């Protein structure tokens, strides 16, 4: 009985334990459901943020694309406008110039230079007044003073001093060039020589016989009319040619019949007005030919006495082409004004990276420092430099380098705040202007930039590189500066210290402050020397160890390509001997020797099937082989003290005639070390057994080297190498 009671009691306890466990599980299940709900909410919120950010980036990219298209269109319009402007103006026989208020010439065409027999350098930037006769200068100044927005065109006649010192007459039509604000910014003038017309007018006064001779041979159309009746009483040959009506039919016509029918009444009244006013007058009008063609002319008319008779003489000059030119020039002037305004805005952007340019930095940094002072805010500047960027250009070419700069600029802009200003300072240096953050916040931001960009792979499908960066920062008011440019200069100074320390880190002004020096005791000086000596030995030993590791790595290629092993040693020996014969410095001879050891290092990245193939390579396989200089350069590029070997390794398959690879450079463009290794490499290849052929004899190899002198090989180095082989043979 007692035993049953004990069992029941034990079962009850176990049941209670199970019920407690069940409650605990139910509680956890509720907590899990609550956490799951929160997770779903967070996921939904994150999805919304991603969509918003994606939309913002899409909009920003579209705005950037439109800006690039706009800039290219503006540049193209300006180029085309300038070409059309120059072509139109230079083809003119009439004198064309542009000048500032005050008479300072800013543009002249070829006809202007030829007329005064002076070059552009003698006229541009100087006043045209000395070219005008002293008697007429005051009148010309008075006429030009009438030009303005309300009176945009003024004509005048003037006497000028020709190149031979004689006085000649000119007639000018001056136009004011007005900007969008209605202000006169420049004047444009078209002139022609009217000395002949003046002589004719004078001759008419002196002699009717002389008048008739000049009248009939004049280059301009001349109509003579009765001032009372407006009937034409005479016309010269050129007048007949101009309107296509025989001279005898012109005589007897009313002057208004020379113009289009819808303008006849206007010219009838204008003729009467001029007759009543008396004196000379100048105007522009349209004539109509017998075929109905309308011709734009300039009419210069005056009262004359011919044979004792009072008549009105009108000289008509065809200005159709000139009017077209003027209209085209006016359109071009407006285009130039618009294009200049657009390009002024676009000049603030760097065309490669699409970041702000150095010129914009000079403007904005002063404004930002002024704003920070005025509102008692902080201002920080971060300068970013890509370490060893030159080696990227050397190994991959400048086109690849430009691609890296574009990608880097995009990533840097994504790393900073939306209202931070990112500027391309120059080359591979960038500046981030961060308003309203102090030194501590700027340090945190700089560290984020360094860590994120260190992890990013830059490049294309063929090549990918990781970048090392040096970052420096300065902050106001922590760093005492008087001007914004002082903040930039301080950051540049700090950046130099970062580079000296090895790069790929962040420094502020705190890292370059000089520590207080204490006097060293004699025993301490000795300790310092010993320590420095140890450091130098350790550094040298570390470098030697690294070199040994690299050379050992190069020897592993022998396992893939049995030909390469002995080939490397012989190539190194020949290359070193050539370098000595060229009397290169000892350190350069050592570079040639080391590069000769490593010149085929890139074959580690080539398939064994290609290296050991017993038949000739296909075109595609040969293209793979051609990659090994680039692969070798890529392997040693991150090792700073081996950088001097890169050009020798990269270019040892270039040819003297420019038909080599990978870059196709020629002649002296190829580094001398690469030229040395090239000839030693080829000779050793010719005299070695290859999977697809037997070795050439030394005699055959020498002939191939001789034949390649001046085409494949540097002729001087080829001669030296042949002499070395000759000495060995003897």
336 pLDDT band, cuts 50/70/90, is low
Q: Is the pLDDT of residue 351 over 70?
A: yes
What gap in Å lies between CA 674 and CA 649, rounded to an integer? 7
pLDDT for residue 515: 45
β-bridge pairing 221-225 and 184-193? unpaired
Percent of the chain at pLDDT > 70 equals 86
- Residue carrying the six token digits 């009939």: 216
Q: How many helices (H) and strands (E) does the chain have?
A: 26, 17
First to last CA, the chain: 122
Average pLDDT over residues 466-477: 93
Backbone angles phi, psi at 574, to 5 degrees: -65, -40
261 pLDDT band, cuts 50/70/90, is very high
What gap in Å lies between CA 640 and CA 388, rounded to an integer? 8
Q: Is the pLDDT of residue 527 over 70?
A: no
Q: Is the pLDDT of residue 551 over 80?
A: no
398 pLDDT band, cuts 50/70/90, is confident
pLDDT for residue 518: 43
729 pLDDT band, cuts 50/70/90, is low
What gap in Å lies between CA 240 and CA 467, rounded to an integer? 81
pTM, full prediction? 0.37
What gap in Å lies between CA 109 and CA 94, rounded to an integer? 9
What gap in Å lies between CA 369 and CA 475, rounded to an integer? 10
| CA 699 vs CA 253, 408, 672: distances in Å | 103, 54, 26
Over the stretch 641-687, which tens digit does the pLDDT of each residue have? 677 888 898 899 999 999 999 889 999 999 999 999 999 989 888 88
The b/e string for 17-43 (b: 16+ C-beta within 10 A; e otherwise) is eeeeeeeeeeeeeeeeeeeeeeeeeee
552 pLDDT band, cuts 50/70/90, is low
136 pLDDT band, cuts 50/70/90, is very high
Write the DSSP symbol of residue 438: -
559 pLDDT band, cuts 50/70/90, is very low
The string of DSSP codes covering 533-576 is HHHHHHHHHHHHHHHHHHHHHHHTHHHH-HHHHHHHHHHHHHHH
pLDDT for residue 638: 67
Nearest to 579 by CA among 479, 680, 505, 441: 680
Lowest-confidence range among 147-161, 371-385, 500-514? 500-514
Over the stretch 159-194, which tens digit does the pLDDT of each residue have? 999 888 889 999 999 998 888 888 888 999 999 888
pLDDT for residue 564: 45
Over the stretch 570-596, which tens digit does the pLDDT of each residue have? 788 889 999 999 999 988 998 888 888
Average pLDDT over residues 612-629: 85
Contact by Cβ (8 Å): 297, 317: yes
Listed in order, strand segments (DSSP E) in 95-241 are 95-99, 105-108, 153-161, 167-178, 184-193, 221-225, 232-235
pLDDT for residue 566: 55
205 pLDDT band, cuts 50/70/90, is low
Average pLDDT over residues 543-554: 53
Percent of the chain at pLDDT > 90 equals 31
pLDDT for residue 646: 87
pLDDT for residue 86: 66
pLDDT for residue 65: 78
């Amino acid at each position: 009985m007692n035993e049953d009671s004990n069992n029941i009691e034990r079962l009850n306890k176990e049941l209670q334990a199970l019920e407690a466990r069940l409650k605990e599980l139910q509680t956890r299940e509720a907590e899990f459901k609550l956490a799951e709900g929160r997770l779903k909410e967070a996921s939904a919120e994150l999805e919304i943020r991603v969509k918003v950010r994606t939309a913002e980036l899409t909009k920003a990219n579209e705005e950037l694309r439109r800006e690039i298209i706009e800039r290219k269109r503006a540049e193209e319009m300006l180029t085309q406008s300038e070409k059309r402007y120059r072509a139109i103006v230079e083809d003119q026989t009439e004198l064309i110039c542009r000048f500032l208020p005050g008479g300072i010439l800013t543009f002249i065409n070829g006809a202007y230079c030829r007329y005064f027999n002076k070059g552009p350098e003698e006229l541009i930037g100087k006043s045209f007044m000395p070219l005008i006769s002293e008697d007429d200068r005051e009148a010309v100044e008075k006429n030009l003073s009438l030009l303005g927005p309300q009176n945009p065109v003024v004509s005048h006649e003037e006497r000028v001093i020709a190149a031979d010192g004689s006085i000649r007459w000119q007639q000018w039509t001056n136009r004011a060039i007005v900007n969008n604000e209605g202000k006169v910014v420049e004047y444009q003038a078209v002139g022609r020589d009217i000395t002949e017309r003046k002589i004719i007018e004078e001759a008419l006064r002196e002699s009717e016989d002389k008048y008739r001779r000049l009248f009939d041979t004049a280059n301009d159309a001349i109509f003579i009319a009765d001032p009372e009746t407006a009937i034409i009483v005479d016309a010269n040959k050129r007048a007949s040619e101009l309107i296509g009506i025989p001279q005898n039919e012109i005589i007897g016509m009313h002057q208004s019949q020379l113009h289009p029918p819808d303008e006849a009444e206007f010219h009838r009244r204008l003729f009467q007005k001029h007759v009543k006013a008396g004196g000379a007058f100048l105007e522009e009008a349209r004539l109509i030919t017998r075929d109905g063609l309308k011709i734009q002319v300039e009419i210069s008319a005056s009262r004359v006495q011919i044979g004792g008779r009072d008549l009105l003489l009108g000289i008509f000059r065809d200005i159709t082409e000139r009017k077209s030119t003027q209209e085209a020039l006016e359109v071009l002037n407006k285009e130039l004004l618009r294009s200049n305004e657009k390009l002024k805005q676009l000049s603030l952007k760097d065309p490669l990276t699409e970041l702000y340019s150095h010129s914009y930095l000079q403007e904005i940094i002063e404004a930002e420092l002024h704003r920070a002072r005025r509102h008692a805010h902080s201002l920080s500047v971060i300068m970013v430099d890509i370490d060893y960027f030159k080696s990227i250009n050397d190994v991959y070419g400048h086109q690849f380098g430009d691609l890296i700069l574009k990608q880097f600029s995009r990533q840097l802009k994504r790393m900073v705040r939306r209202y931070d200003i990112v500027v391309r300072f120059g080359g591979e240096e960038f500046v981030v202007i961060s308003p309203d953050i102090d030194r501590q916040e700027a340090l945190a931001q700089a560290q984020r930039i360094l860590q994120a960009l260190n992890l990013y792979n830059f490049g294309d499908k063929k090549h990918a590189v990781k970048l090392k960066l040096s970052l420096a920062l300065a902050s106001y008011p922590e760093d005492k500066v008087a001007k914004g440019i002082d903040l930039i200069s301080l950051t540049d100074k700090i950046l130099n210290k970062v580079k000296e320390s090895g790069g790929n880190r962040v420094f502020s002004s705190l890292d370059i402050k000089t520590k207080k020096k204490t006097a060293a005791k004699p025993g301490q000086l000795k300790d310092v020397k010993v320590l420095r000596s140890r450091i130098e030995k350790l550094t040298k030993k570390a470098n030697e160890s690294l070199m040994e590791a690299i050379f050992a790595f190069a020897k592993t290629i022998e396992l893939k390509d049995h030909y390469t092993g002995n080939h490397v040693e012989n190539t190194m020996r020949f290359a070193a001997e050539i370098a000595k014969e060229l009397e290169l410095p000892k350190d350069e001879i050592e570079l040639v020797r080391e590069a000769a050891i490593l010149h085929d290092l890139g074959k580690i990245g080539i398939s064994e099937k290609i290296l050991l193939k017993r038949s000739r390579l296909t075109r595609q396989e040969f293209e793979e082989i051609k990659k090994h200089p680039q692969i070798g350069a890529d392997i040693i590029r991150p090792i700073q003290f081996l950088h001097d070997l890169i050009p020798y390794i990269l270019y040892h398959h270039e040819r003297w005639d420019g038909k080599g690879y990978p870059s196709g450079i020629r002649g002296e463009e190829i580094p001398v070390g690469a030229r040395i290794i090239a000839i030693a490499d080829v000779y050793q290849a010719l005299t070695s057994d290859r999977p697809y052929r037997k070795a050439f004899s030394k005699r055959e190899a020498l002939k191939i080297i001789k034949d390649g002198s001046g085409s494949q090989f540097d002729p001087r180095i080829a001669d030296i190498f042949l002499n070395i082989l000759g000495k060995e043979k003897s």
